[in-house]
Amino acid sequence: MADSQYPYPPDRFDDEADAVSFHGAHRAELPFWRENLLYIIIIGAAAVLLVVLLFFIGSMGGDGDERAEDPTTAAESTTEGETSAEEEGEASEEPAPEADMSTPVLVVNAGGINGLAGSWRDTLEGDGWEDVSVATADSTQQEPAVFYRAEEDAETAQALAAEVGAAEAQQSDEYDAAVTFVAVTEPGAGGEDSEG
């Protein structure tokens, strides 16, 4: 319906304007939830996902909580394991190997010190070793060592290694003597034992 103040005769546009419910250039604002519908959906999905994750993590953590509630079981089993290991260690500890003092021993001076092999020969003979000879190495070494040729001399070589402060005796064909001690320091120096 045309406005009575409107100076022009009605036309087809006026008919269309009468047919629609909205009049004028502005429409009513959309409600808040419709304007931000996308953000509301994203926030809601994130909240649901967070709840599901927390529930899932909580159900997985249940196993750990059971262990935490009963810590004595693990502690007791560990203590028992340590005790049995200590008992086995004490039971398996063999007495120090016994040396056959009559086994020929070669003392090799590998420390570059004049008279080193002779000093060791005197020390070992004072400790009861019966057949000690000396030699000089072609090059110096940093650590003392004990070698043996035949398996039957292994125990004697290990006893000598313990006496002179060397590491575990090793089997080797490098030297001709039954047992060879490669000396690098004077008797009593560097943790080597000169008791006798």
Pairwise CA distance, residues 136 & 79, whole Å: 52
Q: Which of these, 93, 118, 129, lies nearest to 187 by C-alpha position?
A: 118
pLDDT digits (tens, 9 = 90+) for 154-190: 888 888 888 888 888 888 888 888 899 898 888 876 5
Specify the pLDDT at position 173. 85
pLDDT digits (tens, 9 = 90+) for 93-108: 555 567 788 888 999 9
CATH class of the domain at 105-183: alpha beta
Q: Taking 90 as the threshold, does the pLDDT of residue 52 lie above it?
A: yes
160: exposed, middle or buried (Cβ count in 10 Å: 0-12, 13-18, 19+): buried
The residue among 133 and 83 whose pLDDT is bigger is 133
Pairwise CA distance, residues 60 & 148, whole Å: 59
Residue that the structure tokens 């016994």 belong to? 98
| 81, HSE (Cβ side, Cα atoms, 13 Å) | 6
Q: Which of 18-32, 56-70, 77-91, 140-154 has the lowest mean pLDDT?
A: 77-91
Question: Which amino acid, residue 103?
Answer: T
Specify the pLDDT at position 72. 54
Question: Which amino acid, residue 73?
Answer: T
Q: Which of these, 113, 136, 126, 130, lies nearest to 178 by C-alpha position?
A: 130
Predicted model pTM: 0.48
